[in-house]
Amino acid sequence: MKHLILTVIVYSLSILPAVGEAATTAGHLAIAFPPDRSFVESGIINVVLQGGASTFDGVQISVNDRKQAVPSKPISRYYLCYDGIRLSYGLNKIRVTGFKDGRKTEEATAQVFYRSDLSPSSSSAPPAFRKYLFHGDAGEKVCSPCHELNFTKSGQAKDGPDRSPCYMCHKKILSNYRFVHGPAAVWSCLTCHDGKSTNSKLSVIKPDDKSCADCHETSWGNKNFKHGPTAAGNCTTCHDPHAADKPFFLRMDTGDLCASCHEDVLYRPHVLTTFSGGGGHPLRRSPDPFNPLKDFTCASCHNPHGSNSSVFLNAYEDSGTMHSFCRSCHKM
Ligand code: HEC
Ligand code: HEC
Ligand code: HEC
Ligand code: HEC
Ligand code: HEC
Ligand code: HEC
Ligand code: HEC
Ligand code: HEC
């Protein structure tokens, strides 16, 4: 906060008019960030508007025609910054409307694609959309006059989250979630975002499992069979590295998570074809009758990481027989 206020004063005295003229016709509402036709891999982004106009006294932001709750800001400022704008998988149309005396006077739009491996129809962006890496010189240039964007490890938040250099722009990636991941909860963001990877100065080491392994024992590493995305090191396809509403920081309920890549499993009988009128084994129960502290899900039978069984069955490895696998729950 301290950095911000100091630089804002300097900025508004000296550079503001110059940048204003260079960027766009002064006085018209425009979306400075995100760039039109860009794609991101995050469901929560910042939206920064250019304004400073007398043609509006309030703004409204909507995504795919759903209104977003945004705080009101002093509209006279040339840049208006908002965090916590929520996207859905796939194409998002961001529409910003300027109002004066309650009447619509201005409008600006931008299209942003939210790419994710968990949404088969959104797993790749349309060809015209370009990946936008913000934390590089081009992206940060617009913001650095007012925001401190030179980060050092020593700048981590020892005295509370709002002292973190990341807090102002990314606070919503942790807030309002039931579970927050240890290192993120103390805003040790630079532990993982150390920029040692190549493409952005705050990028994480890829594949993820390299950084996760610093703190987590990945005992499935020496199993005979490893599950596709785990074997590829893509831990964050399933686990949000920051925070989530689901246990284990899963991005969805386990059943939905697995079905997002194995949808076919839901449409044919699983495991059992002869019992239960051919309907297959139940795939969900809440709570699990055999383990009442958890839900019964795909992961009750399959280890999501790997095992010595070729379909990663839990409790199979001890004996290596299907009978003992079934008996781990059923006293048959
Ligand atoms: C003219 C100075 C200025 C520029 C340029 C600027 N900001 Fe800001 N920004 C501020 C000020 C002042 C605040 C604190 C007041 C507020 O929340 O509006 C702020 C707050 C924010 C917030 C927090 C908003 C909230 O609701 O809590 C975000 C996110 C943000 N800026 C992102 C950016 C990004 C990204 C850029 C570059 C694309 C940028 N800003 C450019 C001055 C600026
Ligand atoms: C001035 C605001 C601002 C500050 C301060 C800031 N970020 Fe960002 N960051 C952004 C914006 C804008 C994006 C683009 C996506 C979005 O809108 O959330 C972004 C994207 C990212 C990304 C995705 C990769 C990329 O380069 O686009 C990572 C990772 C990230 N930020 C980490 C951090 C960390 C860690 C810190 C603190 C050391 C930090 N950011 C501080 C505004 C900011
Ligand atoms: C345990 C390691 C870890 C910690 C700690 C961590 N991150 Fe991340 N972060 C990641 C990984 C991994 C990604 C995904 C990058 C990818 O897959 O491209 C990511 C992605 C991001 C992104 C891009 C958008 C998104 O949601 O995927 C932002 C922004 C970000 N982190 C900000 C932060 C901030 C701010 C903090 C501190 C509160 C933080 N991160 C702490 C590992 C971490
Ligand atoms: C700097 C150390 C550190 C790193 C790096 C780290 N974690 Fe963690 N993780 C923790 C701590 C501490 C906990 C336990 C506290 C908690 O639940 O937040 C934890 C808990 C978890 C849990 C919940 C475990 C349980 O039994 O409830 C999962 C899942 C997890 N981390 C996944 C990851 C993934 C995936 C990565 C890599 C992107 C990662 N972690 C990187 C420190 C780390
Ligand atoms: C296909 C999705 C998926 C991938 C990929 C994945 N996990 Fe998990 N992970 C899960 C699920 C589901 C659970 C919860 C299992 C349960 O309910 O018992 C879990 C549980 C965990 C736990 C806590 C319990 C345990 O087994 O120790 C940790 C830690 C963890 N994962 C870390 C990782 C790391 C590190 C990676 C990358 C090497 C990774 N996961 C990759 C789905 C995944
Ligand atoms: C991001 C996509 C993704 C997610 C999410 C995912 N899987 Fe997979 N799964 C794969 C891939 C890729 C393979 C390897 C496919 C192959 O080799 O045929 C695989 C293989 C498997 C196999 C072995 C299949 C076979 O025919 O040998 C099982 C069993 C399995 N997954 C179960 C699960 C379970 C249970 C979950 C949820 C915890 C899950 N998967 C989540 C992508 C995913
Ligand atoms: C009651 C335990 C159990 C549950 C629950 C379960 N599975 Fe399975 N699954 C098995 C067994 C056993 C096999 C091996 C079947 C065989 O070899 O005929 C298997 C095989 C598979 C395979 C590979 C063969 C195929 O049918 O494609 C996939 C993929 C798979 N399961 C995914 C899932 C997903 C996704 C879920 C949750 C929606 C799930 N399983 C729930 C026990 C279970
Ligand atoms: C991880 C625990 C677990 C394993 C392993 C498991 N089951 Fe089940 N099974 C369940 C649960 C939970 C139910 C649902 C019970 C209920 O709703 O009361 C169930 C139900 C059943 C039913 C009754 C189906 C119905 O429609 O009512 C049969 C039959 C069955 N299992 C057979 C098997 C067989 C055969 C195996 C081995 C291939 C097996 N189960 C492995 C947990 C398990």
Q: What are phi and psi of 83, to 5 degrees?
A: -115, 175
In this prediction, residue 21 carries a pLDDT of: 33
CB-defined site of ligand 3, < 6 Å: 41-42, 166, 170, 173-174, 183-184, 187-189, 191-193, 204, 208, 211, 236, 241-242
Report d(CA 144, CA 128) in Å as an integer.
Answer: 28
Count helices and strands (H / E) in the chain.
12, 13
In this prediction, residue 23 carries a pLDDT of: 35
Establish whether the linkage from the previous residue to 34 is cis, with ω within 30° of 0. yes
Task: Please state the rounded mean pLDDT for residues 81-108.
Answer: 94
Integer-rounded Cα Rg, in Å, for the chain is 24
**CA-closest residue to ligand 5 atom 17:** 299
**Does the beta carbon of 150 lie inside 6 Å of ligand 2?**
no
Strands 90-100 and 58-63: antiparallel
Each residue of 237-262: pLDDT tens digit? Answer: 999 999 999 999 999 999 999 999 99
In this prediction, residue 157 carries a pLDDT of: 59
Q: What are the strands, taking DSSP E only, across the chain? A: 30-33, 38-40, 44-50, 58-63, 66-67, 79-86, 90-100, 103-114, 130-131, 179-180, 225-226, 243-244, 306-307
Question: Could you tell which of 271, 286, 330 is best to mutate to test the pocket of ligand 7, judged by most ligand atoms within 8 Å of the CB?
Answer: 271
In this prediction, residue 90 carries a pLDDT of: 97
- Higher-pLDDT residue of 33, 200: 33
Is the overall model pTM greater than 0.85, yes or no?
Answer: yes
Task: Give SS3 for 63.
Answer: strand
Between the CA of 46 and the centroid of ligand 2 the distance, in Å, is 9
Tell me which amino acid residue 129 is: F
Between the CA of 193 and the centroid of ligand 3 the distance, in Å, is 7
Each residue of 138-197: pLDDT tens digit? Answer: 788 889 999 989 887 655 556 678 788 899 999 999 988 999 999 999 888 988 888 776
Whether the per-residue pLDDT at 7 is higher than 60: the answer is no
Between the CA of 144 and the centroid of ligand 2 the distance, in Å, is 12
CB-side neighbour CA atoms (13 Å) of 59 = 34
Strands 38-40 and 103-114: parallel
Q: Closest-lying ligand to the alpha carbon of 249?
A: 4
**CA-closest residue to ligand 4 atom 14:** 182
Rounded to the nearest angstrom, the gap between the alpha carbon of residue 94 and the centroid of all alpha carbons in its chain is 18
Whether the per-residue pLDDT at 1 is higher than 80: the answer is no
Strands 179-180 and 225-226: unpaired
Whether the per-residue pLDDT at 204 is higher than 90: the answer is no
Between the CA of 214 and the centroid of ligand 5 the distance, in Å, is 15
Between the CA of 99 and the centroid of ligand 3 the distance, in Å, is 35
Nearest to 152 by CA among 119, 201, 186, 116: 201
Model confidence at 136, pLDDT cuts 50, 70, 90, reads: confident
Q: Which residue has the tokens 């804002």?
A: 8
Percent of the chain with pLDDT over 70: 86
In this prediction, residue 164 carries a pLDDT of: 87
Q: Which domains does the chain have, with CATH numbers?
A: 2-150 (2.60.40.10), 161-243 (no CATH), 244-327 (no CATH)
Report d(CA 97, CA 62) in Å as an integer.
Answer: 8
In this prediction, residue 19 carries a pLDDT of: 35
**CA-closest residue to ligand 4 atom 29:** 248
Q: Atom of ligand 6 at shortest distance to CA of 312?
A: 29
Lowest mean pLDDT among 6-15, 26-35, 288-297: 6-15
Each residue of 267-280: pLDDT tens digit? Answer: 989 988 765 566 88
Report d(CA 255, CA 197) in Å as an integer.
Answer: 33
Report d(CA 103, CA 120) in Å as an integer.
Answer: 41
Per-position DSSP letters for 303-316, written without gaps between them: -SSEESSTT-BTT-
Between the CA of 123 and the centroid of ligand 7 the distance, in Å, is 24
Between the CA of 84 and the centroid of ligand 4 the distance, in Å, is 24
**Structure token digits, residue 151:** 């980060």
**CA-closest residue to ligand 1 atom 20:** 81
Question: Could you tell which of 204, 305, 329 is best to mutate to test the pocket of ligand 5, judged by most ligand atoms within 8 Å of the CB?
Answer: 305
- Higher-pLDDT residue of 27, 295: 295
Report d(CA 85, CA 43) in Å as an integer.
Answer: 8
Between the CA of 198 and the centroid of ligand 6 the distance, in Å, is 29
**Does the beta carbon of 275 lie inside 6 Å of ligand 7?**
no
Between the CA of 168 and the centroid of ligand 5 the distance, in Å, is 30
